[in-house]
């Protein structure tokens, strides 16, 4: 069973109305994974959802409370929250030797495999994005340009 601590699980969360679609897509992928997996015959993957409201302290509190309440239940930790929550919760998951996965955390600090050795991301770190813009500028012949990034978290 995977524990998924996600922001914005409420369908119309104040900062992001994506909660409903995020859960719907996850259920679809989970169904596909369970139909096609052959490694653990007779077993299936389930997910427990918790809404951390994109708050690192709350995310860590939810993770620890679930690990205490259900000590033998979880084998992985999925997080779709920002980098700050991933950095906090990775301090816990590394102690439990749980895979820790996330699509939203983009901080280059999470690439430090000594500190975050069980963290896996599914997106390019911010530093990779910077390299991309540098190459675009070079190809376009630009000598000055600005990139504005807005983060909500």
Q: Summarize pLDDT for 53-95 with one digit per residue, the tens.
A: 778 888 889 888 888 888 777 778 876 667 888 888 888 888 8
* Radius of gyration (C-alpha) of the chain in whole angstroms: 18
Strand partners, 119: 100
Backbone conformation region of residue 23, classed left if phi is above 0, alpha if psi is from -120 to 50, else beta: alpha
pLDDT of 8: 45
Chain centre to alpha carbon of residue 2: 12
pTM, to two decimals: 0.63
């Amino acid at each position: 069973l995977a524990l998924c601590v996600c922001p914005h699980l409420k369908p119309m969360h104040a900062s992001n109305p994506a909660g409903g679609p995020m859960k719907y897509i996850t259920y679809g992928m989970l169904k596909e994974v369970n139909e096609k997996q052959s490694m653990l015959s007779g077993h299936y993957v389930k997910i427990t959802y918790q809404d951390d409201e994109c708050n690192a302290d709350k995310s860590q509190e939810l993770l620890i409370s679930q690990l205490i309440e259900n000590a033998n239940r979880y084998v992985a930790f999925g997080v779709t929250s920002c980098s700050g929550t991933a950095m906090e919760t990775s301090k816990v998951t590394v102690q439990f030797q749980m895979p820790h996965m996330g699509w939203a955390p983009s901080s280059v600090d999470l690439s430090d495999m000594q500190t975050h050795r069980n963290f896996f991301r599914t997106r390019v770190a911010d530093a990779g994005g910077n390299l991309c813009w540098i190459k675009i500028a070079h190809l376009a012949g630009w000598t000055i340009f600005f990139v504005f990034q807005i983060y909500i978290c």
